[in-house]
């Protein structure tokens, strides 16, 4: 059984899938903290991830990334979002197999659309779309192999994705994910409705 000091969820997935957005919302819904390992790298090394990647090269960046991921997973019991390419590291793969990994899925075309013009170093080149397709072909089998929970983000709002992830986590670790994360909230006219005894004024927050 996982320890209560282990991460409650580790999010993986391709560039543009929304790991940071979903991770922040998921952490808030669960009442835990959130760490984005790319931001942690930037904080530790005083440079943007893109700058490190471009100036030092991918191998050097991946080495830094491995170390940061190991440290964060060992010390953080909340929600963690990893960089899209972090899973290429055998060391990181081995580490992730011991934790609740959530794979946020995205189609190639949707990923290309979302990352267009983003200037991500990993997509640098004359044809970023071709680079994205190549990365998806290389990484998707790894994402799938590591995942305990898989959730598609296509056609879904971040809130809908969070709800699906929460359901998966609750099934996988009910001893850690117990409370419902979406409180009942009132519509603008709820007070009048409640006075009239109309309970349909309540809805689940989305």
Annotated binding residues for Mg(2+), written as ranges, equal: 20
The tens digit of pLDDT for each residue in 110-140 reads 999 998 877 777 787 778 999 999 999 999 9
Residue 107, domain member (yes or no): yes
Annotated binding residues, written as ranges, equal: 16-21, 38, 62, 84, 120, 139, 156
Residue 55, domain member (yes or no): yes
- Quote the pTM value: 0.83
Mean pLDDT of the region 88-104: 97
Residue 126, domain member (yes or no): yes
Residue 2, domain member (yes or no): no
- 8 A C-beta contact, residue 34 and residue 81: yes
Which one has a higher pLDDT value, 197 or 162? 162
Mean pLDDT of the region 99-107: 97
The tens digit of pLDDT for each residue in 33-69 reads 999 999 999 999 999 998 998 899 999 999 999 999 9
> Across the chain, where does the E strand assignment appear?
9-12, 34-36, 79-81, 101-105, 149-152, 184-186, 202-204
Residue 1, domain member (yes or no): no
Alpha-carbon span 182 to 2, nearest angstrom: 25
Annotated binding residues for substrate, written as ranges, equal: 38, 62, 84, 139
Owner of token pair 């972090």: 86
Nearest residue to 6 (alpha-carbon basis) of 127, 98, 117, 144: 98
Residue 74, domain member (yes or no): yes
* Residue 50 neighbours by CB under 8 Å, 6+ apart: 119, 120, 121
Domain that holds residue 119: 9-181
Please determine, for residue 154, whether its predicted confidence score (pLDDT) is greater than 50. yes
- Provide the CATH number for the domain around residue 119: 3.40.50.300
Residue 152, domain member (yes or no): yes
Range of weakest confidence among 30-34, 83-87, 92-96, 172-176:
172-176
Domain count, the chain: 1
Residue 69, domain member (yes or no): yes
Annotated binding residues for ATP, written as ranges, equal: 16-21, 120, 156
* Cβ-count burial 154-181 (b if 16+ within 10 Å, e if not): eeeeeeebbbbbbebbeeebeebbeeeb
Which one has a higher pLDDT value, 155 or 206? 155
């Amino acid at each position: 059984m996982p320890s209560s000091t282990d991460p409650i969820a580790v999010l993986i997935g391709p560039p543009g899938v929304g790991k940071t957005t979903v991770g922040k919302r998921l952490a808030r819904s669960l009442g835990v903290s959130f760490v984005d390992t790319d931001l942690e790298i930037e904080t530790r090394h005083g440079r943007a991830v893109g700058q490190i990647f471009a100036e030092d090269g991918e191998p050097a960046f991946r080495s830094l990334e491995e170390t940061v991921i190991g440290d964060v997973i060992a010390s953080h019991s909340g929600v963690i979002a990893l960089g899209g390419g972090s899973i290429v590291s055998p060391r990181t793969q081995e580490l992730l197999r011991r934790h609740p990994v959530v794979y946020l899925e995205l189609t190639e075309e949707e990923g290309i659309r979302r990352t267009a013009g983003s200037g991500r170093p990993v997509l640098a080149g004359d044809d970023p779309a071709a680079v994205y397709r190549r990365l998806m072909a290389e990484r998707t089998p790894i994402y799938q192999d590591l995942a305990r929970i898989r959730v598609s983000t296509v056609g879904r709002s971040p809130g809908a994705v969070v709800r699906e992830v929460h359901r998966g986590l609750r099934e996988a670790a009910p001893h850690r994910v117990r409370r419902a994360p979406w409180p009942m909230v009132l519509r603008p006219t709820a007070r009048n409705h409640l006075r009239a005894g109309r309970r349909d004024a309540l809805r689940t927050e989305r």
